[in-house]
Amino acid sequence: MRRHGVSGRRPVVVYDAAAGVAAARAWWTLRYFGHPDVRVLDGGYAAWVAGGHEVSRAEARPTEGDFVAEAGHMPTLDAAGAGSVARSGVLLDARAPERFRGDVEPIDPVPGHIPGARNVPTTANVDETGRFLPPAALLDRFQGAGVTPGAEVGAYCGSGVTAAHEVLALAVAGIDAALYVGSWSEWITDRGRPVATGDA
């Protein structure tokens, strides 16, 4: 991060060329490692171009920054914690519904989801341009999945990437949530952990 000019005293803006999934993971990672001011460009590169802003093909040569990475500044869950949140709080599965149900599983060897989790696909947290829905609309969406004031909230996906996007959407809605970094790919490594299929 220092080689790319990141300093703890300057804001960092991250973006990608799609709906913000990769940018959200960068946002979460920088926040987790202690950067105090990280933003995601809503709508990404496409929104920047559509807004008529200047673009460049030149290679950036930033002045080296002084960022110091210190882990632990964002809440995380391990497998036991994810199971606990699924039972006593609200654990959100950010994957597509067909993966949640176990109809298809293109990546992991076991289909399904963590018992008690609720499917809130992160792809529906943004509109057709890749911009996040307004905070009130996101709040309605998460409340519809059972998120209530004071509830313990966690999010997971296949490998923790799209779930970071869900955590960002929750933050836009004013909700703090923990990320199960290992997500489904880790959950299924222990055959003693339960697996659910279908909508519930």
Q: Which residues are catalytic?
A: 157
Q: 87: which 2 tokens?
A: 């039972």
How many residues appear in the chain? 200
Q: 171: which 2 tokens?
A: 């933050």
Torsion of CA 112, 158, 93, 121, to 10 degrees: -110
> Look-up: residue for tokens 């460009």?
41
Taking CB atoms within 8 Å and a gap of at least 24, the contacts of 139-143 are 139/173, 139/174, 139/175, 141/173, 142/92, 142/170, 142/173, 142/175
Considering only CA atoms, which of 123, 111, 116 is closest in space to residue 91? 116
Considering only CA atoms, which of 158, 126, 156, 163 is closest in space to residue 141? 126
Q: 21: which 2 tokens?
A: 């999934």
